[in-house]
Amino acid sequence: MKIAVVSIFPGMVGGIAEYGVVGRAIERQLVSLHCEDPRTFAADAHRTVDDRPYGGGPGMVMKYEPVAGAIRAARAGLPENSPVICLSPQGRVFDQAEAGRLARMPGMVLLAGRYEGIDERLIENEVDEELSLGDFVLSGGEIAAMAVIDAVVRLLPGVLGDAESAEQDSFMQGLLDHPHYTRPERVGGKRVPSVLLSGDHARIARWRYKQALGRSYLRRPDMVKKLRLSREQRQLLDEFLAERGLPQQNLRSGRNAGR
Ligand code: 9D3
């Protein structure tokens, strides 16, 4: 996959190419990452990329022409049907399903804005979709673009090793992770749960799944409500809650439950 980012802070985005999973994917040429700076396409000697908003008000707006120039240059190195995606608080909220969809694209241009926003006409003419990371305020689109790149690149074929890939299509999908422990056996006044020392792999798998269900139910009830719990899953969740002296869940389950 070929990825191009349009940003006035190319150094910020380039940083992810040096670390971890994304860095390795670029090294192995499974993905290419390229940045275009609108400043390069500014018409004046001062390389101006922003101007005051029509209608007044605080802050500045990114100018049409320099951003358009950078998008055109970014597109030039990418396959024809690569979408232009603007990172924006006005976008659809990015999630794992969106990451999976983007991972099937041959390329993508990620447009990271600064200031109060980008001239709306540029978005209408050049942007295919807008994505947000959620309801909190960032100072610009770069960190959001980096988050999208990280989430998408991990899904590209060959990027993750066998162990990590296996985890992605495991039965834990749609739930939070179970807790993790490593040596020593006793630390911070606490012991490793004894089941993890038992060597009984079936019991360990059951315990982990119970933890994943229970934690998801307590911390992210929205996630659990989307699942249709089987009788076994309900049993595990009830065990988890009972062990903590919590009231048993009253999520309905089975075919067409709820709604
Ligand atoms: C405080 C400024 N806001 C006035 C109501 C508007 C605003 C403009 C520009 C808020 C944030 C930004 C910059 N943010 C992004 O470019 C951005 C973002 C975000 O802020 N939150 C979550 N996801 C994203 S994706 C891009």
What is the tens place of the pLDDT at every residue in 17-27?
999 999 999 99
First to last CA, the chain: 40
Residue 151 near ligand 1, beta carbon < 6 Å? no
Domain boundaries, the chain: 2-153, 171-259
pLDDT over threshold 60, residue 13: yes
Which residues belong to the active site?
89, 116, 154, 169
Taking only the tens place, the pLDDT of each residue in 61-74 is 999 999 999 999 99
Asked if domains 2-153 and 171-259 share a fold, the reply is no
Q: What is the mean pLDDT of the chain?
A: 95
Dump pLDDT digits (tens) for 121-174. 999 999 999 999 999 999 999 999 999 999 999 999 999 999 888 776 677 788
CATH number for the domain running over 171-259? 1.10.1270.20
Q: Please report the atom of ligand 1 found closest to the CA of residue 131.
A: 25
pTM of the model: 0.95
What is the architecture of the domain spanning 2-153? 3-Layer(aba) Sandwich (3.40)
* Phi, psi (degrees; rounded to nearest 5) at 5: -115, 135
Cα gap 200→218, rounded to integer Å: 27
- What's the 3-state SS for 29-90? CCCEEEEECHHHHCCCCCCCCEECCCCCCCCCEECHHHHHHHHHHHHHCCCCCCCEEEEEEE
Tokens of 106: 């041959």
140 exposure class (CB count in 10 Å sphere: 0-12, 13-18, 19+): middle
Residue 177 has pLDDT above 70, yes or no: yes
Closest-CA residue to 2 (of 98, 110, 100, 94)? 110
Q: Does 216 contact ligand 1 (Cβ within 6 A)?
A: no
User: How far does residue 140's CA lie from ligand 1's centre (Å)?
Assistant: 6
